Structure 1
Amino acid sequence: MLNTHQITGLLYSMGHTFDNLGSTYIATEEFLTTNNPTVLGSRNDLALLQDLQDAAQAMLHYDYSHGITRDFVRSLNASMTRTAALEPGKLRESANILVRTMRGDYIPPVPDVHRLDAALAAANASGGTLHDAAHLFSELAKMQPFGDGNKRTALLAANGLLLMKKNTHVLTVPVVDPDKRTFNELLSAWYMEDDLQVVDFLTAYNTKVRGLDRDGHPIEDAQ
């Protein structure tokens, strides 16, 4: 089970890096603790954090004895009813989305459920290391299986893998430059050029960073 500080760091990093969360780390932490919406900066932040909170609960309370399954991934996306897809949890049936990246526009193909299931099976068979979680995140993020909320869903699924394997680490994404920019560049390279360096980058980042401070800046382990 993740502690409050870990959950706050995970949700703040997702909201900030993927969806332009404007509220501070302190405000995010207070909202997640008290559910007091007045501490947040906007209605958009409220809706986003409510969705992330609901999806995190789905991740935390999933029965991992069944492994990471397609239904688990769908349940994460389905929990985000305010800010994600028009049909949360429904796999895309057409190539009707476009992802803007630092290296151009990426148009993901219609999700291949066999490829999705194979990626989940490989994760289940893995040791559940940070590298394994980063690889699962990258695979799901590139597939873009849903109409929206795909990176959020992918990161929560990757942390579900860590929970299932009883790995006490949390996989987060960088929130400040230069790491944030590097992450976005490498994720773009993975989308557009099949360059998987983003997996090694995320593994190294989460090995050295053990959380965020009260200003939302990374706290690195002493070398």
Structure 2
Amino acid sequence: MDNTALARFISSIGSLNGYGSSLLQTKHALDLNSSTPLNQDSDDVAIFEDALKGITAVRRVGFSVDGIIAINKAFDSDSDEEPNWPGHLRNAYYNEDDRIGIILDEKSHRTYMPPEVVGRNDLQKIVDEYMTSPKKEKDAWRVFVRIAKLQPFQDGNKRTALIAANAAYDTFSRENYLVLPFDELDQTDFMTTLMRYYETDNQDEEEKYFNRLLSLLPSDRERILHKPISPDDGSGKTITFNLKPQIRNRSGKKPKITRKIDLKTQKHD
């Protein structure tokens, strides 16, 4: 098993929920079959362990309605990032926890409201659409956006969708995982475009935003080039910069970040 490729895939899954452990930490955790090398907060450990359980579950069941449900059902760690009722298809008519909305714009409070009730038939439509498609990479990414927009579960929907898309495309046997953009700006653009995809009910607009999402994803060559993981051995001269992020956090503040850059290797800490 290629733990370097798997580490990048798990980090990509985790990036949807603020996973803070590095690629190197994630690879060490896979090598040791232990979460000990990770940042020891409940969210990172839960995301790591539940991602592995979700992958195992869908590999056992296969890409199907039951397989998609099995992924989310595996997200059972004790963390606020995980659903209160893993694997349960939402029905807001009888369960308040199933009544969810996705904030699109915090200033205007614009919110995407997914269907209040999700049934197996809704997931079956997504599975059938893929099974009757050419089953190319684009078709697998359509699985991702369809599940993500449907929001079938209480939580972990995008992570479920990304694992399901990889199961559909059979990347687990080839280890050529479908991952989100590596570049932080591209990933921000990806998430913004995904929110616009959520918001529209117009099929032409959906397709426009879907194609925009595809244009932001890393190519096969980029996935190969980003594959190596090397530890920063601290060699060479370093200099410290105070960096000013241009994208504000939810508090509206721009936090100052101090970062050391190795001038010999151009590695960042």
TM-score, normalised to structure 2, is 0.70
Cα distance in structure 2, aligned partners of 1:70 and 1:187? 23
Residues 7-86 of structure 1 mapped to structure 2, 5 A cutoff: 7-16=6-15, 18-43=16-41, 44-62=43-61, 64=62, 68-82=63-77, 83=79, 84-86=82-84
- Secondary structure of the equivalent of 2:149? helix
What are structure 1's unaligned runs of at least 5 residues?
216-223
- Tell me by how many angstroms 1:142 deviates: 0.4
Question: Against the structure 1 CA distance between its residues 129 and 165, is the aligned structure 2 distance closer, same or farther, given a 3 Å change threshold?
Answer: farther
Counterpart for residue 192 of structure 2: 185
- More moved, 6-15 vs 157-166: 157-166
SS in 2 for 1:90: coil
Mapped pair 1:207 → 2:219: yes
Question: What secondary structure sits across from 2:66 in the alignment?
Answer: helix
Shift of 1:53: 1.3
Equivalent residue, structure 2, for 1:154 = 161
Offset at 1:153?
Answer: 0.5
**Aligned counterparts of 1:11 and 1:153: Cα–Cα separation in 2:** 12
One-letter identity of the residue aligned with 1:58: A
When structure 1 is superposed on structure 2, of 70-79 and 26-35 the one drifting more is 26-35
Tell me the secondary structure at the aligned position of residue 184 of structure 2. Answer: coil
Change (3 A) 1:197 1:27: farther
Structure 2 CA distance for aligned equivalents of residues 35 and 164 of structure 1: 21
Identical pairs, percent: 26
**2:10 & 2:207 partners in 1: Cα distance?**
24
Structure 1's 3 and 87: CA in aligned 2 closer, same or farther, altered over 3 A?
same
Secondary structure in 1 matching 2:165: helix
Whether 2:104 is the aligned partner of 1:101: answer: yes
Higher mean alpha-carbon deviation, 48-57 vs 146-155, is at: 48-57
Letter in 2 for 1:5: T
Distance in structure 1 (CA, Å) of the matches to 2:171 and 2:7 = 20
Conserved? CA contact 2:21–2:44, under 8 Å: yes
Higher fraction of helix: 1
Higher deviation after alignment, 146-155 or 89-98? 89-98
Deviations 1:117-154 (A, max 9, x none): 11111111222211001101000000000000100101
Q: 1:167 to 1:3 in 2, by over 3 A?
A: closer
Deviation at 1:40, TM superposition (A): 1.4
| Structure 2 portions without partners, runs of 5+ | 93-97, 231-269
SS in 2 for 1:170: coil
Q: Distance in 2 between matches of 1:26 and 1:201?
A: 31
Following the alignment from structure 1 to structure 2, what is the Cα–Cα distance between the partners of residues 153 and 190?
Answer: 18
- Structure 1 residues 140 and 156 mapped into 2: Cα distance closer, same or farther (>3 Å)? same
Q: Which residue identity is paired with 1:79?
A: A
The structure with higher relative contact order (CA 8 Å, sep 6+) is 1
Aligned residue pairs, count: 210
The Cα of 1:34 is off from its aligned counterpart by 0.8
On the 8 A contact 2:89/2:119 being kept in 1, the answer is no
Give the distance between the partners of 2:171 and 2:209, measured in 1 at CA: 23
Measured after TM superposition, the shift of residue 61 of structure 1 is 3.3
Aligned equivalents of 2:164, 2:71: Cα separation in 1: 8
Cα distance, 1:207–1:164 mapped onto 2, change above 3 Å: closer
Change beyond 3 A, Cα 1:57–1:112? closer
